[in-house]
Structure 1
């Protein structure tokens, strides 16, 4: 290291001063000896002290300069990457390019659900005002556009904290006019964006909401169970939208771009195009669906009723061709973002519009169970085609505890139906005959509850159908063990009698009864399905859950009784005029009483299949509290007219 100029100059001055002093000492040695010696000593001391002071100052200066240089190096090199990333974070933005959800089509390619352009408001919480009053003012402005409460906006916007850097979408979606007004207002709002999104639109007047479901914004529960979602994504809820969400969703893309200090885009840095979801085809027949909906709606309006359900299933494929649950709801309310008030109205409706009664509702089956009991009795040999029972309108059973007391079990016709065999008992719906087959009476040995339960299980009661829709109920086949465990009571003969005619604690869904009736006709219990195939793929083969252990001969006897129920039964055959094919069916009236004096009207059932010789359609209609089953027949008949005449 070179010497400081200050040190060099000090040395030179000291040297010159020494030369001068020596000269003076030679010429004036005597006179100045004492005085000059003192002066010399003082000057020499000064010359030594000055270089030391300057050296200390220079050393301190160098230390300070070195410390500053080291800090500068640390900022430029060691933390350079970090600060560069922070700078980039302030000037780089990423925009989601939403993937289009796959369309949902019926089996013939008719559109049931598609996408339309929509607008979605998103919030970046970390850019929101820090003080609560300013945020409330912002939420109030947004609420006027979104038609949802300030509290709802606050709850969602601040759900992840105010330091959350990812965008959060707010419902409702906006129409174009409202979006254009908001876009102008957004120039003065920080942390709020308007996104163009593909929004779901569902075809109306089909009552397909329970089958298709709907889409809505992802919530925190979704994020906890799935790692492919963000709070700006839409996911399927209920029905096909939920069941096949992974097929329909696709994959979002993005556009990463640089912005200036005012947030205006400068250039695109990277991008990825979205991958659209797949279109899917359902087993539903759109025309048949609308016909069933229209006819069922017409009938309940005529009866002044609110709740009903209907389902049509292919007997040899398990394909669900139509499914209606009334009242229904508009699933477009959800895809656009339903408000809390609207949702509360649906939830609190006592007629349960959100509830799919076809596969979630369980009901006593009434006399629609009788073809299954007849199949079991014939196959087990308890009865044959020649077995007869005299229906006098009631039977009396003495109490096992007190023979002087007893119980009377009635037929629907208190005057009696006379002598019947298995086919006429099905056609005329004789309770007395089926009390005898199930529990035994006089010369007929009954099956007993264990064998009844076994055959009900063969036909799919008390178990899941395996349909590819969520929230299915399995119903109930009561047994002695179940009664003991549930109520602490012993099973009695009366329980078997009730179970034999579809009353008591026996419960089934309309879908289960449609499949069971089809199985009685074909000898096979099919697994139902609503998904046919994705675009570009072939349909899977139908699934046979099990072969029914009932011979063809015995099935023919039962089928014959069901045909007689249509053309020679209690209902006037005139209502079947116009149906170009022969078909078979069974009505049922199911008691809907919580206690004996309950005056709640009975439910009405009608289950059928057509054509008789080679079934293509299996139909179940249930109208709640219709009082009688005869009023339930027309929707099925009109649907058959439509289908077989088109």
Structure 2
């Protein structure tokens, strides 16, 4: 029975078939193994040979860090080598948001940091505001000027603070504070919008950029070229050693044309008035001083100003952030009268002897509207010299009528009114000198004859910046010549110490048919300060140099036909008082300085703006302030217009510096003006 069962089983089991099946399966398995080995060998070859460089680079990235090295920002000097913007060493705490994580992780990190480093609510608020405005991969300063003790406490627990670094670097410092703040400007954090507009590779390692003034306009020169260093780090990211270093190139040092002494005198002379002072060298267009008052402390912006402080500045009614020299648009008032006189002579509508009778008011034919002179009792018969000297409005009303608005527009825009001067500073406004076409385009109205009269005395639609007025008087001083205003005089390579001077850009010359026309008008401007009865005689009569000038007052509030203006500006509310203006150049026979002063709501150009300009000219030309200063002393060395140490001084300046001045050792005291001499102080 058992034998039968075994035979039956053997009959059912096919040994050969099973063996063949096993061999087939074994062969397939062997093939898979061989294929796997081949694939492994191929992949190893790919990793080790073909993609060796790629993975070697990734491995090095895990081990090494390439860190941008910020270049040293260039220094800013004035014409005498006085530092206006410098760099100071400081420890800066920076956080890279991308390495920290989300907002919750950032809040936890800041809470931990407060146990190690002193952080105020202002620091944290300012930091979060900057994080929102900056790329997440860029380090954002949290606090600067850390103490050595704070740095030591951080280093002990630095492994607890991912994305946080303390960098030893330089921070911007402005030793003169608010002095020349609108001109020098300031630096601040780089926003994402600014990075998009710039070449990002030029800002590697940098967290700040020029925001205003020279810091902004000359950013490309001041910034320099970033370098880089390669650091080997451990698994925790802690630097172990420096493997390589590529040096960047520091920014260029800048020498500006301004004189800090003159700038300081101008700001002090402004007193409590808001306004502007612009002083130019008419021979090359260099800015000697540019005051916009009130100013601000640029140091507030260096570390990143907090929102509350910034809002305080923005909401300040005196507008300290507003650059009045370049952005302030004011009616130029009577300061346009010398240019109007030149236009009248050039177009042949008047002669120097042409006379008008001023009875204090006039009307146009067919109109009952009265156009008043600033002097209600009138000036009587005045010719051109007397018209400029006494600033007779009636004379210039009639001159405007003879010229017409079209010729006035052509002549006055030729002197630079109505368009930006192109100064190498940001935010300059164009101003406005109206024309028929402008009024049709802007107001959809025709031009009226009465508007021509107002335009002729610098009122109505006319708006100009103090910089434009300074350029206008500089062009008169140069008898039609002149240069584009600029503040940059020279640049210096910080490595080679090579100085490169900036070549002034000449303006198109104003050619007149008769060059004697310039002498006529300049003589009239000299009479303003040198002859009794001139509106600025009280300021110019005791000056040791001749001044050619023009006073002005820009009306802020108009009067009804039946309304009488108070006799004294001091009797009016401050906001309704006229703006006080004054333009001048000196010495009249060989101009070296041209000045424009605008004091908001100052009232009278002669009594408020003119003394400011006189002090500025005194400081620049004499080296001390003589005007109304009985204790004036001659300094040990006169102010030298040599702009950069080592550069040659022009021959005429060498002669000035070599002169001894025993007579000036005891400068004559300024004599107060008598009421009779101040008769015409109410110049409009």
Structure-1-length-normalised TM-score? 0.84
The aligned residue for residue 14 of structure 1 is: none
After superposition, the C-alpha distances for 1:394-449 in whole angstroms (9 at most, x for unaligned) are 112244xxxxx51100000101112211111111110011111111xxxxxx1111
Choose 462-471 or 50-59, whichever is displaced more.
50-59
Provide the aligned length of Structure 1 versus Structure 2: 592
* Distance verdict in 2 for CA 1:134–1:74, change over 3 Å: farther
Asked whether 1:589 is paired with 2:553, we answer yes
Asked whether 1:69 is paired with 2:33, we answer no
The aligned residue for residue 303 of structure 2 is: 336
| Contact 2:94–2:143, Cα closer than 8 Å, also in 1 | no
| Contact 2:390–2:535, Cα closer than 8 Å, also in 1 | no
* Distance verdict in 2 for CA 1:392–1:35, change over 3 Å: closer
The aligned residue for residue 489 of structure 2 is: 532
Please state how far the C-alpha of 1:62 moved relative to its aligned partner. 3.0
Asked whether 1:499 is paired with 2:446, we answer no
Q: 1:360 aligns with which of 302, 324, 327?
A: 327
| Contact 1:169–1:231, Cα closer than 8 Å, also in 2 | no
Q: 2:384 aligns with which of 422, 425, 432?
A: 422
| Contact 1:581–1:610, Cα closer than 8 Å, also in 2 | yes
Where 2:400 maps in the other structure, the secondary structure is: helix
Asked whether 1:372 is paired with 2:339, we answer yes
d(CA) in 2 for partners of 1:430, 1:140: 71
* Distance verdict in 2 for CA 1:358–1:35, change over 3 Å: closer
d(CA) in 1 for partners of 2:57, 2:500: 50
* Distance verdict in 2 for CA 1:128–1:158, change over 3 Å: farther
d(CA) in 1 for partners of 2:141, 2:547: 53
Please state how far the C-alpha of 1:494 moved relative to its aligned partner. 0.8
More helix by share: 1
The aligned residue for residue 640 of structure 1 is: 617
* Distance verdict in 2 for CA 1:609–1:114, change over 3 Å: same
d(CA) in 2 for partners of 1:641, 1:160: 48
Q: 1:490 aligns with which of 446, 471, 480?
A: 446
**1:99-498, aligned counterparts within 5 Å?**
99-129=71-101, 132-140=103-111, 145=119, 148=122, 150=124, 153-154=127-128, 156-157=130-131, 166-170=137-141, 172-176=143-147, 180=151, 183-184=154-155, 186-205=158-177, 207-227=179-199, 228-230=202-204, 232-296=206-270, 298=271, 301=272, 305=273, 307-399=274-366, 406-439=368-401, 446-498=402-454
Please state how far the C-alpha of 1:604 moved relative to its aligned partner. 0.5
The aligned residue for residue 564 of structure 1 is: 527
| Contact 2:97–2:106, Cα closer than 8 Å, also in 1 | no
| Contact 1:367–1:429, Cα closer than 8 Å, also in 2 | yes
After superposition, the C-alpha distances for 1:615-642 in whole angstroms (9 at most, x for unaligned) are 1000111011112222122211122222
| Contact 2:356–2:382, Cα closer than 8 Å, also in 1 | yes
Please give the root-mean-square deviation of Cα atoms over the aligned residues, in Å.
3.0
Please state how far the C-alpha of 1:172 moved relative to its aligned partner. 5.0
**Residue segments in structure 2 that go unaligned for 5+ positions in a row:** 493-497, 564-572, 624-684
* Distance verdict in 2 for CA 1:381–1:215, change over 3 Å: same
Q: Which consecutive segments of 4 or more residues in structure 1 shift more than 6 A?
A: 34-41, 43-47, 158-161
The aligned residue for residue 661 of structure 2 is: none
* Distance verdict in 2 for CA 1:517–1:158, change over 3 Å: closer
d(CA) in 2 for partners of 1:159, 1:557: 59
The aligned residue for residue 610 of structure 1 is: 586
